[in-house]
Chain A
Amino acid sequence: MATTTVTRENVEEKVVEALAELGPEPAQITPDATFESLDVDSLDLVELTQVVEEEFGVVIPNEAAAKLTTVGDAIEYVVAHGS
């Protein structure tokens, strides 16, 4: 399933792309931006985790997802857990 190599660049690109599809303006999607400030809700996060799983083969369990507060947190998690 996982098609893309986990590099910081790839993960950033995909996460920003996925978040942009969920509503926020691409310019607002910076590593420091919180999901709350981007109006990204829990269901949006579920969609983001699905994209990440399909793209990189990295599963973000519920407990871990609950601790992600910024875009950077999500990127770091995927980079750290990518094989």
Chain B
Amino acid sequence: MAAERPDEHRAENGGTARSATGAALVTGASRGIGAAVAAFLAAEGWPVGVSYRSDADAAAAVVEGIEARGGRAMALAGDVAESETAESLLGALEERFGPVLVLVNNAGVRADGLTPTIRDEEWDRVLETNLTGTFRLTRRALRPMLKARFGRIVNVASIVGPRANPGQANYAASKAGVIGMTRTVAAEVARRGVTVNAVAPGLVDTDMTEALSSDLLEAVPARRAGTPEEVAACVRFLASEEAAYVTGATLTVDGGLSA
């Protein structure tokens, strides 16, 4: 209804390769990998929904940063673990910027502990946010994407899941689940020009990994943690039109840790 003229985006983008018109949504975008992805997608010409759960100031700063560089963005509050969040986030974004054609499911939490100590609440919280939240947003976002015959869904998984990491049974289950879901949804919608992929970061320097010990670094062949931007660059590729034939894939971004 109040959607801005969709063909504006292309002109603003200097007429680059992107011909799809609509918006991008990045969950958990107030910091870390999500913030970097939001900035990169905005630079590609997408109006970006910067969704966050708790840190409104940080999300506002991400939006300001994007706008300062000539991009368009809006901050959107919402906990992806809640069932109504998918509708509220996409509805708000669609009203302002048009159909959501890029979805980056990045919001994630961890609640670590060795398995005997993980409480039901800690299991549920991690699965609800990382896996169920990703599912619900995917389900909702496929509507405009199928209609548009174009869509890019990129799920931020982890090398934990495909690989073991003691103390993260809940997190590993959620991320392995995301990778499994990515492959099946990809197969379901491939013939509509919608791709669904995952990135699997290793040790990346964010608030979430702050507490991880430095001896983990010694196991990384690159001998350093990755940056949010290095993960975001992979997401940007998977979200691009050029990546049209990549679907159901998981791109590992781990400095060689699982090589």
Chain A 15-55 against B: per-residue CB contact (8 Å), 1 yes, 0 no?
00000000000000000000000000001001100100000
- How distant is the Cα of A50 from the Cα of B189 in the complex, in angstroms? 15
Q: Taking the nearest CB of chain B, how far is it from the CB of A20, in angstroms?
A: 14
Instruction: Check A43 against B192 for contact (C-beta < 8 Å).
Output: yes
B108-166: which have CB < 8 Å to A?
A: 143, 146-147
Contacts of A46 in B (CB 8 A): 146
Nearest residue (CB) in A for B147 is: A47
Q: Taking the nearest CB of chain B, how far is it from the CB of A41, in angstroms?
A: 8
Nearest residue (CB) in B for A54 is: B143
Q: Taking the nearest CB of chain A, how far is it from the CB of B105, in angstroms?
A: 20
Interface check B188, CB cutoff 8 A: yes
Instruction: Check A43 against B191 for contact (C-beta < 8 Å).
Output: yes
Contacts of B192 in A (CB 8 A): 43
- How distant is the Cα of A46 from the Cα of B189 in the complex, in angstroms? 11
Using a Cβ cutoff of 8 Å, how many contacts connect chains A and B? 11
Chain B residues within 8 Å of chain A by Cβ, number? 7
Q: Taking the nearest CB of chain B, how far is it from the CB of A62, in angstroms?
A: 13
Instruction: Check B188 against A43 for contact (C-beta < 8 Å).
Output: yes
Nearest residue (CB) in A for B142 is: A46
Nearest residue (CB) in B for A50 is: B143
Contacts of A50 in B (CB 8 A): 143, 146-147
Nearest residue (CB) in B for A51 is: B147
- How distant is the Cα of A32 from the Cα of B141 in the complex, in angstroms? 33
Contacts of A47 in B (CB 8 A): 146-147
- How distant is the Cα of A50 from the Cα of B147 in the complex, in angstroms? 10
- How distant is the Cα of A43 from the Cα of B147 in the complex, in angstroms? 11
Q: Taking the nearest CB of chain A, how far is it from the CB of B94, in angstroms?
A: 13
- How distant is the Cα of A76 from the Cα of B216 in the complex, in angstroms? 62
Q: Taking the nearest CB of chain B, how far is it from the CB of A70, in angstroms?
A: 23
Contacts of B189 in A (CB 8 A): 43
- How distant is the Cα of A43 from the Cα of B190 in the complex, in angstroms? 11
Chain A 43-81 against B: per-residue CB contact (8 Å), 1 yes, 0 no?
100110010000000000000000000000000000000
- How distant is the Cα of A43 from the Cα of B192 in the complex, in angstroms? 9
Contacts of A43 in B (CB 8 A): 146, 188-189, 191-192
- How distant is the Cα of A46 from the Cα of B147 in the complex, in angstroms? 11
Nearest residue (CB) in B for A46 is: B146
Q: Taking the nearest CB of chain B, how far is it from the CB of A11, in angstroms?
A: 20
Q: Taking the nearest CB of chain B, how far is it from the CB of A52, in angstroms?
A: 13
Q: Taking the nearest CB of chain B, how far is it from the CB of A53, in angstroms?
A: 10
Q: Taking the nearest CB of chain B, how far is it from the CB of A66, in angstroms?
A: 16
Nearest residue (CB) in B for A53 is: B143
Q: Taking the nearest CB of chain A, how far is it from the CB of B189, in angstroms?
A: 7
- How distant is the Cα of A60 from the Cα of B9 in the complex, in angstroms? 36
Q: Give the A-binding residues of B (Cβ under 8 A).
A: 143, 146-147, 188-189, 191-192
11 contacts between A and B (CB under 8 A): A43-B146, A43-B188, A43-B189, A43-B191, A43-B192, A46-B146, A47-B146, A47-B147, A50-B143, A50-B146, A50-B147
Counting from the closest, the 4 A-B pairs by CB-CB distance are A47-B146, A50-B143, A43-B188, A43-B192
Q: In the complex, given contacts A43-B191, A46-B146, A50-B147, what are 8 additional A-B residue pairs having Cβ atoms less than 8 angstroms apart?
A: A43-B146, A43-B188, A43-B189, A43-B192, A47-B146, A47-B147, A50-B143, A50-B146
